[in-house]
Amino acid sequence: MRTPLVVGNWKLHLGLKDAQSLARALVQGIEPDLPCEVGVAPVFTVLQAVASVLEGSPIALCAQDLHWVDKGPYTGAVGAPFLVELGCRYVIVGHSERRQHFGENDRIVRLKVEAALRGGLAPIACVGESLTERERGEAFVVVRRQVEAIVEGLDGVERLVIAYEPVWAIGTGKVAEPQDAQAMHAAIREIVARHAGQSIANAMRILYGGSVKPENAPGLLREPDIDGALVGGASLDARSFLAIIHAVRP
């Protein structure tokens, strides 16, 4: 059985006080016997402050990105050892906003996945097609290329989490229909099986992301190959995020 995972990506939101306030609300509202793992990914500047609030709770600290080199003359970068030192357990890698706004390609995403694994972090590697690619019928081709670039010959692949985030659904209010998301998740699992073996594919958690809200979460999370959610805007409100967490059923 795969333990579902729900992660809130706070993106470039919430300074020190607001981040601590949201973290406290989540700690107070979380159930002790959760049917899933939960994580939050604040901005780099408040990781330590949020970590202190989360201490002793079941909520994992996550980072939004990392550099592919552990340390060195890389101004503005953050390496895996520094994130581990702060208590991070997961790191988001290859989010479409990183690909779109920061020029990250499949090669860079692979390097970051390797850096995360090397440093002791579990990478949440994002894949997904744009609206144009979907309309051209290229969705599965694009996602297959992205997944293969990540998993082929990867050491530590069993610690990898994949998040399918159709780019056209991120921050737009649009969301993939549960059956369409399930079809892509099943395809991703088949790709992983071809490159890493069926047992690893069966155990790998594949999350859905893209305008996940309390209203659509139950339908998505009922699908057999959707193992949780990577939540954006809805994770900035404690009530909404907790509702999504509670939509997970064992």
Is the pLDDT at 171 greater than 70? The verdict is: no
Confidence (pLDDT) at 135: 87
**68 φ/ψ angles, rounded to the nearest 5 degrees:** -85, -5
Q: Is the pLDDT of residue 1 over 90?
A: no
Among residues 160, 182, 172, 156, the alpha carbon closest in space to that of 212 is found at 172
pLDDT digits (tens, 9 = 90+) for 54-82: 999 999 999 999 999 999 999 999 999 99
Strand boundaries in 24-175, DSSP class E:
37-41, 59-63, 88-93, 122-127, 161-164
Catalytic: which of 95, 104, 114, 185? Answer: 95
Assess whether 95 carries a catalytic annotation. Answer: yes
**Average confidence (pLDDT) over 144-150:** 97
Catalytic-residue membership of 165 = yes
Left, alpha or beta for 66 (phi > 0: left; psi -120 to 50: alpha)?
Answer: beta
Q: What are the b/e assignments for 155-184, b being 16+ CB within 10 Å?
A: eebeebbbbbbbbbbbeeeebbebeebbbb
| 35-64 mean pLDDT | 96
Do the strands 5-9 and 37-41 form a parallel or antiparallel pair, or are they unpaired? parallel
Q: Round to whole Å and give the CA distance between 181 and 226.
A: 8
pLDDT tens per residue, range 185-237: 999 999 999 999 999 999 999 999 988 999 999 999 999 999 999 999 999 99
pLDDT at site 210: 87
Model confidence at 250: pLDDT above 70: no
Q: Calculate the average pLDDT of the chain.
A: 94
Cβ-based burial of 64 (10 A; exposed 0-12, middle 13-18, buried ≥19):
buried
pLDDT at site 32: 77
Domains of the chain and CATH, by start = 5-246 (3.20.20.70)
Active-site residue (options: 37, 104, 165, 246)? 165
